[in-house]
Structure 1
Amino acid sequence: MNTLSYGLLAFLAREPSSGYDLMLRIQPFWQAKHSQIYPLLSIMEEKELLSSYWIKQFDKPDKKIYTLTEQGTRKLKEWMYKTLPDPVTRDELSMRTFCMWMTDRDNAIEIIETRKAYFVRRLEAFEALKDKIPDEKRQFGNKEFYDYMLIQKGMFNASAGLEWCKWVLTMLREQASIEPPTLYSS
């Protein structure tokens, strides 16, 4: 099983959900598309880690709801005791920054401004999520305590990313405009 599979089990451990609802809930933590989630749900159902039932809807297509089985709960608990691997980083901004010497300063600024705006949106979204958790639920033993910890992690990461963007933008704006070298000069 991959990490996304365990993530789906984790959300189902909290409440039965449709595949679409799972996709929406997992987005703040893990970028996953329908094309990844639905096949995993089908495989996990075949392995009896989850079960499902249909809800009839009148104004929309019927909805399939997934629930965690005892076997799925055991699998999720086993995963919690596995050694945590180093994180995998796949960030297009890092690759573009690596290549920024090939573009002009205005484009470099635009790239960083775009990511800065993303971090601002992330901070606002995490702040809204944090506001939904009452103070009394922000204590060890409550499920919401772990949500609070994850929200704080997201806020720290977004804040660090925002600060980095501000730092880069200051450097780009303060330095004289230098045209990038041509790649294939003779």
Structure 2
Amino acid sequence: MNTLAYGLLSFLSYSPDSGYDLMLKIQSCWPAKHSQIYPLLSQMENDGYVRHVLVTQTDKPDKKVYSITDTGRDALRAWLSVPANEPVTRDELTLKIFAMDQGNPADIKRQLELRVNYCRDRLHWLDRKIEIYSTKEPAPSRGMRLLMQRGRFSIQSDLSWAEWALEQLQDES
């Protein structure tokens, strides 16, 4: 199984869900399209890791709601004990900063300003989400709490760097 499959099992270990809802939930930590998720869920079902029930809906087409099986739970536990691969960072701005001496400095400054604004917006959104989750019953899992703070630290780090980079470019002007 690939990492996406284990990610789907991770979400299903908390509650059954449709393929569409799984796609929305996993986006925060692993980009995936429905064209990846649906065939993978089908394969995982064939392999015995998940099963589904068909839920009849009156206003929409029927949907499959997947749940993790004991075999899937065992596979998830085994995966959790294996060291994670090195993280992959893919950030277009990183490449643009590397090549910035080949272009217009004002363009790079503008892109850094956009990154600062993006980070501030994301921090605001995440802080609201953390606040909502802090009063939610039942309380979010330890993993969810750790990940929300990881997201906050990561965004704050990106914001600090972008603000610092802008200052460096201002000093050079």
Does the CA-based 8 Å contact 1:23-1:33 persist in structure 2? yes
Match of 1:132, SS state, is helix
Matched, 1:159 2:151: no
Question: How far apart, CA to CA, are the structure 2 residues paired with 1:36 and 1:116?
Answer: 32
Q: What are the within-5 Å matches in structure 2 for residues 95-174 of structure 1?
A: 95-134=95-134, 144-174=141-171
Please say which of residues 97-106 and 75-84 is displaced more in the overlay. Answer: 97-106
| Aligned mates of 1:114, 1:67 — CA distance in 2 | 41
Distance 1:127 1:10, change over 3 A: same
Structure 1 pair 143–131 and aligned structure 2 pair: CA distance change class (3 A): closer
One-letter code aligned to 2:30: W
1:37 aligned partner? 37
Moved more, 84-93 or 11-20: 84-93
Deviation of 1:109 (Å): 1.5
Structure 1 residue 166: Cα displacement: 0.5
Partner of 1:60, secondary structure, is: coil
Residues paired across the two proteins, number: 173
CA deviations on 1:143-166 (whole Å, 9 max, x unpaired) are 522211110111000000000111
**d(CA) in 2 for partners of 1:38, 1:136:** 30
Aligned residue identity for 1:71:
T
Deviations 1:60-108 (A, max 9, x none): 2222111101110000000011122221222222112112222212211
Query: Equivalents in 1 of 2:127, 2:110: separation in Å?
Result: 26
What TM-score do the two structures reach when normalised by structure 1? 0.84
Q: CA deviation at 1:135?
A: 7.1
**Structure 2 stretches of 5 or more lacking a match?**
none
Identity %: 40
**Contact 1:133–1:144 (Cα < 8 Å) also in 2:** no
C-alpha RMSD over aligned residues: 2.0
The Cα of 1:17 is off from its aligned counterpart by 0.6
AA in 2 matched with 1:167? W
Alpha-carbon distance in structure 2 between the residues aligned to 1:125 and 1:28: 13
Identify if the C-alpha distance between structure 1 residues 121 and 4 changes in structure 2 by more than 3 Å, giving closer, same or farther: farther
- For the residue of structure 2 that corresponds to 1:158, the secondary structure is helix
* TM norm structure 2: 0.90
Residues in 1 aligned to 2:156 and 2:37: alpha-carbon distance in whole angstroms:
29
